Amino acid sequence: MTTPTPMPTGLRILLTLASLIVVATGTWAARPILVPVLFAAFLAIISGPAMTWLIQRRVPRPAALLMVVLGMAAIGVTVVIVIGQSLYSFRDNLETYKEPLQQKVAAITDRLTEAGVEMSESALADNLNTDNAVDYLKTLLGSLTNLFGKGLFVLFSFVFIVLEATGFPDKVAAMPGDTSARLERWQKIITETRRYFALKTIISLVTGVTIGVLLVVLKVPYAPLWALMAFLFNFIPNIGSIIAAVPPIVVTFIVLDTSTLIWVIAIYLAVNLLVGNMIEPRIMGKGLGLSTLVVFLSLVVWGFVLGPVGMLLSVPLTMVVKIVLTASDDTRWLGLLLSDEVAEPV
């Protein structure tokens, strides 16, 4: 019997990369359906400990599921209400911002002219238009609001995933081959995803509450909205905190004095530097197993493939991909590239 000739390494790498591109293209095409399902799947993973806790307290499984679903729905409705009311209020008060904006534009134009920089006041006003600020907010938050707007689909997906998850380990155990390794990978995915979201939620909550309280003290308009944005966008690695800081800084620039503007900028810099560079790395540790470059690139890739929700889920999705890749000899090299370890990941 003739031994098959092994495929050249270069060709195997090209085929692996081509397969990943095909999968990414298919994922992009299916994102209207895939995004709500993925969101529901991660909600199901996160809610697992709550379900287990209720069942251990002898709460019937249907009642426990109903309580968890109602809890998730209450959180989603609260987010949508806060965002919607704040945006509507912001839109209704736009007229009150136009006069102070014109004054700010005139002052900036005078300063630039004194410094020898010629700039049209009308062009500067167009760049600082309050309507643009509202459009910017709607673009950033519209995706999340739209996702919650598909609440019925997300809700049904969440319920069926939770119900299916109870029998999933038994199905894996019944498969031919090394089922123990599959179960171990599945458990690792669940454990690391829950750990990431639990720690990230605590850190984001501290960030949002701190910023919200300080903005209320400074009497910045719509402080609850900016606090909610700081909480939500802190889940987006690297650039989330920067995006969340832009709208409150712009509003402060328009309606408040320069000293308050400096304080707002200082607050965002201090909180994000303290949380992002000191507290979060110490709490999260190296548990993610992803390099800093990979975290940033995953933000770009998943954001392109799945949109803003992909940016929100970029880190856990990349962790899942890394675990799956390291399980095969043919793709372990890709898992190693994603890892923050020099040695081959286990």
Residue in this structure with the two tokens 């984001």, named with its chain if needed: 204
Residue 75 lies in a domain: yes
User: Residue 273 falls within a domain, yes or no?
Assistant: no
Pair of tokens at residue 341: 């370890």
C-alpha span between 288 and 195 (Å, rounded)? 9
Residue 231 lies in a domain: no
CA distance 320 to 322: 5
For residue 148, is it within any domain?
A: yes
0.85 surpassed by pTM: no
Q: Give the residue carrying structure tokens 């390099």.
A: 291
Across-strand partners of 30?
A: none
Q: What is the pLDDT of residue 35?
A: 82
Task: Answer for the pair 274, 203: CB distance below 8 angstroms, yes or no.
Answer: no
Q: How far is CA 343 from its chain centroid? A: 29
pLDDT at 273: 83
Q: Helix, strand, or coil here: 2? A: coil
pLDDT at 186: 75
Token reading at 339:
């890892």
State residue 113 phi and psi, 5-degree precision: -65, -45
Q: In terms of C-beta density within 10 A (0-12 exposed, 13-18 middle, 19 or more buried), how is residue 193 classed?
A: buried
182 found inside a domain: no
Containing structural domain, residue 59: 32-165
Kindly state the tokens that stand for 178. 């090394």
pLDDT tens digits for the chain (346 residues)?
455 566 666 676 777 778 778 887 888 888 888 888 888 888 888 887 888 788 888 888 788 888 888 888 787 778 777 777 776 676 666 667 667 766 776 777 767 676 666 655 555 555 555 555 555 555 555 555 565 566 677 777 887 877 776 666 666 666 666 667 777 777 777 887 888 888 888 888 889 999 999 999 998 888 888 888 888 888 887 788 888 888 888 888 888 888 888 999 999 999 888 877 777 766 665 556 677 778 788 888 888 888 877 888 888 888 888 877 777 776 777 777 777 665 444 4
Tokens 């609850």 correspond to 224
Tell me: the pLDDT tens digits for 174-232?
Answer: 666 666 777 777 777 788 788 888 888 888 888 999 999 999 999 888 888 888 888 88
The pLDDT value recorded for residue 345 is 43
The total domain count for the chain is 1
* 223: in domain: no
> Strand pairing partners for 290?
339
Residue 115 lies in a domain: yes
**What is the per-residue pLDDT across 271-298, written as a single tens digit (0 to 9) for each?**
888 877 777 766 665 556 677 778 788 8
Query: Is 137 among the domain residues?
Result: yes
68 touches 50 (CB < 8 A) = yes
Tally of CB atoms within 10 A around 33? 11
Token representation of residue 12: 């195997």
- Report the distance separating Cα 59 and Cα 68, nearest Å: 12
Question: How far does the chain reach from its first CA to its final CA, in angstroms?
Answer: 36
Measured from the Cβ of residue 280, the count of other Cβ atoms closer than 10 Å reads 21
Look at residue 215 in the predicted model and tell me its pLDDT. Answer: 92
Rounded CA separation 326/333 (Å): 7
Could you give the CA distance from residue 44 to residue 56 in angstroms, rounded to a whole number?
A: 18
